[in-house]
Amino acid sequence: LKLSLNYIFPKIQKMIHAEIVTIGDEILYGQIIDTNSSWIGSALSNIGIKVLRRASVGDEASEILDILAQAGKRAHLVIVTGGLGPTKDDITKHCFAQFFGSELALNSQALELVTEFFRKRGRTLTTINEQQAWLPACCTYIPNHFGTAPGMWFEQDGTVYVSLPGVPSEMKGIMTEQILPKLQGKFDLPVIHHKIIKTIGIGESYLAEIIADWETALPPHIKLAYLPSLAEVKLRLTCHGNNKQLLENEADKQIFLLKKIIPQYIYGYDNDELMHVIATQLLQQKLSVSTAESCTGGYLSHLFTALAGSSQYFEGGLVSYSNAIKEQILGVNASTLAQYGAVSEQTIAEMAQNIRLKLKTDIGLATSGIAGPSGGSEAKPVGTVWIALAHANGVFTKKLQLGGSRVQNIQLSATILLNLLRKYLIKQDLS
Amino acid sequence: LKLSLNYIFPKIQKMIHAEIVTIGDEILYGQIIDTNSSWIGSALSNIGIKVLRRASVGDEASEILDILAQAGKRAHLVIVTGGLGPTKDDITKHCFAQFFGSELALNSQALELVTEFFRKRGRTLTTINEQQAWLPACCTYIPNHFGTAPGMWFEQDGTVYVSLPGVPSEMKGIMTEQILPKLQGKFDLPVIHHKIIKTIGIGESYLAEIIADWETALPPHIKLAYLPSLAEVKLRLTCHGNNKQLLENEADKQIFLLKKIIPQYIYGYDNDELMHVIATQLLQQKLSVSTAESCTGGYLSHLFTALAGSSQYFEGGLVSYSNAIKEQILGVNASTLAQYGAVSEQTIAEMAQNIRLKLKTDIGLATSGIAGPSGGSEAKPVGTVWIALAHANGVFTKKLQLGGSRVQNIQLSATILLNLLRKYLIKQDLS
């Protein structure tokens, strides 16, 4: 993975370098995880700006001034988050004023927006919140439509400094709405087109093997990265050039070729999520689903119901954790359980079929396995999981042999079963 | 929260300053979130070392050498993670060798350990993995019992440099097992005792109000921090002094006083988890549980079953997402659903009682509500949730009015119901 990163910035023109600075004692002391830096790093990379360094400093003026000076010397762009709240220990804008030899002044646009923010929520503006409209006189005011602390844009000696609130939702909102377009206008950035192909049901190394010829044949200005996570591998195409439309067409052409090689593994593109893809199919085909879970213990139905609108196709599920419930509520034959055990093809088939009939749905899904860390045997070691999908014309069963932690085995079982459902819905071969 | 952080390091002696450096292009480009820095920041704070700055640089020698020089000038301790893998782009140890004017040499202890690592897993050592045993000659070898890349310890001009692998489990293992004790031996650190009190069922500001007198009466060397998260507030006592045992006794005395004020909100200490506390009680009292979930959609049973050993007390659950299933499978009266609706005290009481009887458990838990973002009405807006706990002698019901996102409302409903179960198990007043 790491080797494949350097391609992102070929030397096609003068590269714009950025540094990211996050401010706050709570970051240094590990009381929060700094997710802002990652988000900004990814957003800048996506528009062709290279992040050279990231730093975090505490709520101390000397530290903030020092890092501003250093980062400004090295980079064309310095993005700073945090320290813009109304309390005493939030000192970022005072530091910026000092750094640029400027003074704080009441910004009327900022005052209007923050007043409006409070008015809409039926609250009156307090003195402490009014202070948020005082900004360094030398800054370009960047409105915050997601909270009360304004953003700021400074330029000095060819370097751009951007100051944003540390609340992730506010930072992301302002970046997306205003800063990224402004940066694309300000700098002569390379034209970059990213396209993500989402695959499931195949490991990274095997995937790399079967698409090796396709990858080798990619033109030099289109690069491929593998981004693996639990059960999924995202393939990211990064296309460099001068013409956005041309790059989009080229990426689509490559995807067309890729789809011929691995049609069964691709479930979506860019922001598509597996559950959204499934939901769309279920709604289109007017099909309903129910679940009978043993080892996944409710996680599968949680995945269904976490999506808004799921009540249109998800009827319900049974977590049949004990054998008694498998037998008495779900109606699995006592003889099946006695003869083959709960973790068996015979039991899982009955579970899927019975939940489908009991809850009167088109499709019944079931899981039964040994999530671990204990409970395994020589014949059925930890990680042995049976999954099944029952429909009007039969039931499909599959045995998994997983090797993760308890929670990973639960998540993997549920995700692999969801992929089975996806394949069933688009009439792919299930085996 | 932020204001309360500065106390952590009173000027009782010369403070040891640390900087944390993480290395890797994938961090800069936002392909992974840097959790190592937070973990190290927290671990150092806990032993009385103040983190002054954090930085991340890419896999470039000039960048790594520059940040080593800068951090070494400012801090007594520089902890570096990442770039120790066997592949070409992992250059950290070469940079350290260059930085200290040293050369790589084969370390026999390191070779022995990495050979053993592969032997235990039935694999033979490859040339590329053997290279991991080549270390800068000037370093103190730090064995890695959690992976193949050794840790390194350097000292120069009174500054300690520690190099650790970037894989979080390996970094944490080596830090806990070796680096933290070694730092406590090396530096004259203040004696600090931390104690965390875990509360649930009360918001941060109301909690602060009712324990204000207790907080004010804390001696100056014992400081309090509020660490709120969804549904919970952790209170952290940080005690400074010269004698560990004395500090532990003092903290215990303060907790004794606090327990008199808020006995009903404290569910545990330090690493206690709500579900562990509940599991312990259920096992001790030999009680079993079942769940009937509507709005939480399986999340509650997932919380139970995510814990190993839960099959000893968790029998199973029904996700009765549709009214048909509430009626036909769970046996809620059709007239109850028709007259009061699914989100009502009458329905939730029947759900909890019926699941308890149907699954033959001592306790039945139930949730029904409108998680959002749509589905609300004037009488029952989004966030209206009923929860219930049924037992042999009756049923307790409670209405919640939540204001979060869909997923937050699901998580909050489940957690508040778990807290109700906890209170029931320790025979506290449920209202």
pLDDT digits (tens, 9 = 90+) for A119-147: 887 878 888 788 889 999 999 999 999 88
Backbone region of residue B145 per phi and psi (left: phi > 0; alpha: psi in -120 to 50; beta: other values): alpha
Lowest mean per-residue pLDDT among A9-18, B154-163, B263-272: A9-18
Q: What is the rounded distance in angstroms from the CA atom of residue B156 to the CA atom of residue B72?
A: 9
How much is the ipTM here?
Answer: 0.84
| Chain A nearest C-alpha distance from B361 (Å) | 11
Nearest one of B396, B406, B409, B388 to B342, comparing CA atoms: B388
The CA-atom distances, in angstroms, between B174 and each of B102, B147, B247, B345, B375 are 24, 10, 27, 53, 51
Would you call A299 and B298 a contact, using CB atoms and an 8 Å cutoff?
yes
A360 contact residues in B (CB cutoff 8 A): 324
Determine which of B305, B362, B368 to mutate to test the interface with A (most A C-beta atoms within 10 Å): B305
| Chain A nearest C-alpha distance from B202 (Å) | 21
Q: Which residue of A has its CA nearest to B227?
A: A31
Would you call B31 and A42 a contact, using CB atoms and an 8 Å cutoff?
yes
Q: How many CB atoms lie within 10 A of CB B327?
A: 18
For range A274-288, the mean pLDDT: 98
**pLDDT interval class at B13 (50, 70, 90):** low
> For residue B167, what are the contacts with CB-CB under 8 A and spacing of at least 6?
B146, B147, B149
Would you call A37 and B56 a contact, using CB atoms and an 8 Å cutoff?
yes
pLDDT at A7 over 50: no
Would you call B25 and A5 a contact, using CB atoms and an 8 Å cutoff?
yes
Token pair of B243 as six digits: 């004698």
Q: Of the candidates B31, B306, B360, which has its C-beta nearest A227's C-beta?
A: B31
Q: What is the rounded distance in angstroms from the CA atom of residue A260 to the CA atom of residue B416?
A: 50
Contact B363, B389 (CB under 8 A): yes
| Chain A nearest C-alpha distance from B200 (Å) | 19
User: So what's the pLDDT on residue A3?
Assistant: 36
CA angle B198, B203, B205 (to 5 degrees): 110
Would you call B360 and A324 a contact, using CB atoms and an 8 Å cutoff?
yes
User: So what's the pLDDT on residue A249?
Assistant: 97
Would you call A3 and B58 a contact, using CB atoms and an 8 Å cutoff?
no
pLDDT at B6 over 50: no
Q: Of the candidates A6, A30, A291, which has its C-beta nearest B41's C-beta?
A: A30
Amino acid at site A374: S
CA angle A66, A71, A77 (to 5 degrees): 140
Nearest one of A297, A302, A304, A296 to A275, comparing CA atoms: A304
Q: What is the rounded distance in angstroms from the CA atom of residue A304 to the CA atom of residue A185?
A: 42
Would you call B5 and A25 a contact, using CB atoms and an 8 Å cutoff?
yes
Amino acid at site A385: V
Determine which of B15, B16, B29 to mutate to test the interface with A (most A C-beta atoms within 10 Å): B29
What global pTM score does this model have?
A: 0.84
Contact A254, A269 (CB under 8 A): no
For chains A and B, count residue pairs whose Cβ atoms are closer than 8 Å: 252
CA angle B289, B341, A314 (to 5 degrees): 65
User: So what's the pLDDT on residue A12?
Assistant: 46
User: So what's the pLDDT on residue A32?
Assistant: 86
Q: Which residue of B has its CA nearest to A325?
A: B359
Query: Could you tell me the end-to-end alpha-carbon distance of chain A, in angstroms, rounded to an integer?
Result: 30
Q: Which residue of B has its CA nearest to A46?
A: B29
Would you call B306 and A33 a contact, using CB atoms and an 8 Å cutoff?
no
Nearest one of A326, A306, A334 to A366, comparing CA atoms: A326
| Chain A nearest C-alpha distance from B217 (Å) | 24
Determine which of A25, A49, A303, A385 to mutate to test the interface with B (most B C-beta atoms within 10 Å): A25
Q: Of the candidates A45, A55, A321, which has its C-beta nearest B316's C-beta?
A: A321
| Chain B nearest C-alpha distance from A21 (Å) | 9
For range A410-425, the mean pLDDT: 97
Q: What is the rounded distance in angstroms from the CA atom of residue A366 to the CA atom of residue A369?
A: 10
B319 contact residues in A (CB cutoff 8 A): 291, 298, 301, 305, 316-319
| Chain B nearest C-alpha distance from A108 (Å) | 29
B310 contact residues in A (CB cutoff 8 A): 297, 321
Q: pLDDT tens digit string along B285-319?
A: 999 999 999 999 999 999 999 999 999 999 999 99
**pLDDT interval class at B203 (50, 70, 90):** confident
Compute the mean pLDDT over every residue in chain B, rounded to the nearest whole number: 92
For range B3-27, the mean pLDDT: 71
B88 contact residues in A (CB cutoff 8 A): 3
| Chain A nearest C-alpha distance from B241 (Å) | 20
pLDDT at B26 over 60: yes
Determine which of B321, B332, B370 to mutate to test the interface with A (most A C-beta atoms within 10 Å): B321
Nearest one of B333, B190, B204 to B262, comparing CA atoms: B204
B238 contact residues in A (CB cutoff 8 A): none
What percent of chain A has a predicted confidence (pLDDT) above 70? Answer: 96
Would you call B314 and A321 a contact, using CB atoms and an 8 Å cutoff?
yes
User: So what's the pLDDT on residue A203?
Assistant: 86
Quick one: three-class SS letters along chain A? CHHHHHHHCCCCCCCCEEEEEEECHHHHCCCCCCCHHHHHHHHHHHCCCEEEEEEEECCCHHHHHHHHHHHHHHCCEEEEECCCCCCCCCCHHHHHHHHCCCCEEECHHHHHHHHHHHHHCCCCCCHHHHHHHEEECCCEEECCCCCCCCEEEEEECCEEEEEECCCHHHHHHHHHHHHHHHHHHHCCCCEEEEEEEEEECCCHHHHHHHCHHHHHCCCCCEEEEEEEECCEEEEEEEEEECCHHHHHHHHHHHHHHHHHHCCCCEEEECCCCHHHHHHHHHHHCCCCEEEEECCCCCHHHHHHHCCCCHHHCEEEEEEECCHHHHHHCCCCCHHHHHHHCCCCHHHHHHHHHHHHHHCCCCEEEEEEECCCCCCCCCCCCCCEEEEEEEECCEEEEEEEECCCCHHHHHHHHHHHHHHHHHHHHCCCCCC
Q: Of the candidates A38, A305, A322, which has its C-beta nearest B321's C-beta?
A: A305
B53 contact residues in A (CB cutoff 8 A): 28, 55-58, 63, 67
Q: pLDDT tens digit string along B391-416?
A: 999 999 999 999 888 999 999 999 99
| Chain B nearest C-alpha distance from A144 (Å) | 21
Between residues A270 and A289, which one has the greater pLDDT?
A289
Q: pLDDT tens digit string along B228-257?
A: 888 899 998 999 888 889 999 999 999 999
Q: Distance from CA of residue B113 to its chain's centroid?
A: 31
For range B147-167, the mean pLDDT: 94
Token pair of B371 as six digits: 């998680």
B329 contact residues in A (CB cutoff 8 A): 316, 318, 358-359
The CA-atom distances, in angstroms, between B22 and each of A37, A62, A121, A136, B19 are 13, 23, 42, 33, 10
| Chain B nearest C-alpha distance from A129 (Å) | 17
> For residue B256, what are the contacts with CB-CB under 8 A and spacing of at least 6?
none
Q: Which residue of B has its CA nearest to A292?
A: B318
User: So what's the pLDDT on residue B88?
Assistant: 67
Q: What is the rounded distance in angstroms from the CA atom of residue A327 to the CA atom of residue A351?
A: 9
Token pair of A184 as six digits: 């694309």
| Residue B101 backbone phi and psi in degrees, to 5 | 60, 40
| Chain B nearest C-alpha distance from A166 (Å) | 13
Contact B360, B289 (CB under 8 A): no
Q: How many CB atoms lie within 10 A of CB B235?
A: 24
Q: Which residue of A has its CA nearest to B372?
A: A308
